[in-house]
A and B are shown apart, each in its own frame.
Chain A
């Protein structure tokens, strides 16, 4: 059972928008930066969003992140079949003194 809670799966049609939520607590999301990771099938996770809402170089602006209180959100617009992957949120937990990840959300582009 993960410290951060994500929906197990989301789906949407190509070209549409999808939102993936990440719910935590005052000791993690509310007080630390949130990052998001994309894991394509059979590959290592890749940093998608850092410091709540910043994109590393090379990440399209179709991907955006936000945070409010104890929750964070990843939005993906203009969905493409190549976006089918598992998405994880992550942050530091000040009480557990450990990096924590969400359980992951599988995105299906119908």
Chain B
């Protein structure tokens, strides 16, 4: 079955760029039936969808984050990545990667990213 694992730094300084990678196993990011999403959850709060990427490289982003987000694919490594620029303390959250179609799942275990100097 498909499994996903997030990786990247757990601490990012304000105004810098948050960069995370999601490694996919048991499935392919080149699959025409799936989209690959990033979702985040601030401490004690609900879920916020960040965006997704399709195997063609086509992307769709949450309008509230669109100006700061880039999601990309690396088919050779079966990975997809998230870059969030100009971060502030409000971007502190657990970041999840997941497979999407009509629904979202499975999810990675999540990675806590704190924005602090």
The residues in B between 72 and 108 inclusive whose CB is less than 8 angstroms from any CB of A are: 96, 100, 102-108
Q: Does B46 contact A (CB under 8 A)?
A: yes
Q: Does B21 contact A (CB under 8 A)?
A: no
Q: How many A-B residue pairs have CB under 8 A?
A: 62
* B49 shortest CB reach to chain A, Å: 4
Chain B interface size range: 20 to 34
Nearest-CB residue, chain B, relative to A100: B49
Name the contact of A56 in the complex, choosing from B39, B46, B105 (C-beta under 8 A): B105
Name the contact of B103 in the complex, choosing from A2, A33, A43, A103 (C-beta under 8 A): A33
Question: Does the CB pair B46–A88 fall under 8 Å?
Answer: yes
Chain A interface size range: 20 to 34
Q: Does A98 contact B (CB under 8 A)?
A: yes
Nearest-CB residue, chain A, relative to B106: A47
Interface string of A34-75 (1 = CB under 8 A from B): 010100000111110011000010000000000000000000
Q: Does B63 contact A (CB under 8 A)?
A: yes
Question: Does the CB pair B105–A47 fall under 8 Å?
Answer: yes
In the bound assembly, the distance between CA atoms of A24 and B102 in angstroms comes to 17
Contact surface of B with A, Cβ cutoff 8 Å = 37, 39, 46-49, 52, 60, 62-63, 96, 100, 102-110
With A37-B47, A45-B47, A47-B103 known, 5 other A-B pairs at CB within 8 A are: A35-B102, A45-B107, A90-B47, A99-B37, A101-B46
